[in-house]
Amino acid sequence: MTASSPPIPTRADCLALDAEDSLRRFRDRFALPEGVIYLDGNSLGPLPKSVPERVNRMLVEEWGGHLITGWLKDGWMDLPLTLGDRLAELVGADPGEIAVVDTTSVNLFKMLSAALAMRPDRKVILSTTDNFPTDLYMAQGLGALLDKGHELRMVAPDDLSAALDETVAVLMLTEVDFKTGRVHDMARLTAAAHEVGTLTLWDLAHSAGAIPVDLNRSSADFAVGCSYKYLNAGPGGPAWLFVASRHQVAAHQPLTGWLGHAEPFAFDLDYRPADGIRRHVCSSPGVIGLVAFEAALDIMLEADMAAMRGKSIALQELFITLVESQCGDFGLQLASPRKASATVPYLRGGQVSFAHPKGYGIVQALIRRGVIGDFRDPNILRFGFTPLYVDFVDVFDAVEHLKAVLNHGEHLDPRYADRASVT
């Protein structure tokens, strides 16, 4: 620390920040176990208290009470689209551009297929070596199936602009890196892609609910996302896909299920795609998961996104400052971009990562103390800063625990030598 550095925040400072926090009223909307500081909402959001009530109502009143007639009476059949329209408000899409359906991976397959078919003379799918593996694997699976010489070209994030040329059919990126929280500039990269006629497919798994997303202002072509991280819809909650309205006539995907048919109940022998986003719905929607998502999304839509982003950055900066000042001697290295921004480009998402050779042991020792973050191979400790249920004092206390773990060598416990981790 130099003489000119601001003083290190104290616990009292953090309590004062909490006292004036406009988002603090949301904390009571989530069920958080006593004694837990939850810094893993970037992997699985916690339970919104409204979800069990909403799910139970769907089970008992809708399914139990209405049986088969619930498909129309309770709007089950249209939930992928009605919920998509609500989600559109959060991510800068228009009504009719989003369907909540299937899983992120399956939606990625659908959207990538649609985009490749719109650029039949191009064979390159451009992505990054640090993209989330399922995105890369789904592209590999599709390429092998197509058997037409498509190449998944993976480059370092900084080399993307140089790699964009007229051979590239699709630029497929995850906006916020799952390990480091680094953010791609969606608007700039989309513009660069469009300059050479390349379509863009954005994975927003770590973006939606974490940072302001404006798909249409960014001119994004296709996108996919999940619901169970920053959107708090529960483990493996339903995923979603976005097709810009300007592409909705041209975009066709190969998972042509009956609910994407123009007239599902005509039971024609031949598939004819429905108009609009509905053609990307394949099968009967999983209603229980959808209503859980609906209840969780209501909370996100009630909060102000700019306020959420502002608080998330403040929490992250507090964490970095405290870790580097309190635990700096133990070899933790910041693995995230040092700066975040409240405006485009965002630079860092909703998480802060540190690297440490004993990272797995540190995360496990923290969990034993009730501070839940997670670990990613080979050496990354991830901590999510979700402004609706994390207080400033939680950050302070988490760093105190981290300091204690390191001081006492709790992370060196031999039982942590055998790693296992989970998303």
Residues 6+ apart with CB under 8 A from 243: 97, 111, 114, 221, 222, 251, 277, 280
What residues from 185 to 244 belong to the interface with a second copy (CB under 8 A)? 226, 228, 234-239
Nearer to a second copy, 158 or 265 (CB): 265
What number of other Cβ atoms are within 10 A of residue 326's Cβ? Answer: 17
Could you say whether residue 75 binds a second copy (CB under 8 A)? Answer: no
Nearer to a second copy, 284 or 321 (CB): 284
Residue of 203, 374, 391, 394 with catalytic role? 203
Confirm if 308 and 23 have CB atoms less than 8 A apart: yes
Residues 6+ apart with CB under 8 A from 123: 148, 149, 150, 151, 167, 169
Region near a second copy per CB under 8 A, out of 12-20, 50-58, 319-327, 400-408: 50-58
Q: Which of 9, 225, 289, 359 binds a second copy (CB under 8 A)?
A: 289
Residues 6+ apart with CB under 8 A from 294: 54, 79, 83, 86
Region near a second copy per CB under 8 A, out of 84-92, 103-111, 210-218, 317-325: 103-111
Residue of 182, 382, 383, 391 with catalytic role? 382
Q: Which of 105, 174, 218, 353 binds a second copy (CB under 8 A)?
A: 105
Region near a second copy per CB under 8 A, out of 106-114, 169-177, 297-305, 329-337: 106-114
Could you say whether residue 282 binds a second copy (CB under 8 A)? Answer: yes
Please give the Cα distance from 309 to 313 (Å, whole number). 6
Residue of 38, 109, 132, 319 with catalytic role? 132
Q: Which of 9, 23, 29, 113 binds a second copy (CB under 8 A)?
A: 113
Confirm if 347 and 337 have CB atoms less than 8 A apart: yes
What number of other Cβ atoms are within 10 A of residue 66's Cβ? Answer: 14
Could you say whether residue 174 binds a second copy (CB under 8 A)? Answer: no
DSSP 252: -
Catalytic site residue 360? no
Exposure letters 260-288 (e unless 16+ CB within 10 A, then b): bbeebeeeeeeeebeeebbbbbbeebbbe
Could you say whether residue 136 binds a second copy (CB under 8 A)? Answer: yes
Nearer to a second copy, 305 or 363 (CB): 363
Please give the Cα distance from 282 to 261 (Å, whole number). 9
Confirm if 402 and 323 have CB atoms less than 8 A apart: yes
CB of 69 to a second copy, least distance (A): 7
Nearer to a second copy, 44 or 164 (CB): 44
Could you say whether residue 28 binds a second copy (CB under 8 A)? Answer: no
Could you say whether residue 329 binds a second copy (CB under 8 A)? Answer: no
Confirm if 367 and 415 have CB atoms less than 8 A apart: no
Q: Going residue by residue from 247 to 276, which x/- string records binding to a second copy, judged by CB under 8 A?
A: ------xxxxxxxxx--xxxxxxxx-----
CA nearest neighbour of 106 among 273, 206, 228, 225 = 225
Helix (H, G, I), strand (E, B) or coil at 35: coil
CB of 398 to a second copy, least distance (A): 15
Catalytic site residue 348? no
Q: Which of 16, 118, 154, 274 binds a second copy (CB under 8 A)?
A: 154
Catalytic site residue 304? no
Could you say whether residue 149 binds a second copy (CB under 8 A)? Answer: no
Catalytic site residue 203? yes
Could you say whether residue 99 binds a second copy (CB under 8 A)? Answer: no
CB of 130 to a second copy, least distance (A): 9
Nearer to a second copy, 277 or 292 (CB): 292
Residues 6+ apart with CB under 8 A from 176: 182, 183, 184, 204, 205, 206, 207, 210, 211, 349, 350
Question: Which residues on neighbouring strands pair with residue 47, listed in sequence order?
Answer: 31
Give me the helix-helix angle, 287-302 and 79-91, nearest 10°: 30
Catalytic site residue 392? no
Could you say whether residue 20 binds a second copy (CB under 8 A)? Answer: no
**Looking at the annotation, which residues are catalytic?**
132, 203, 228-229, 382
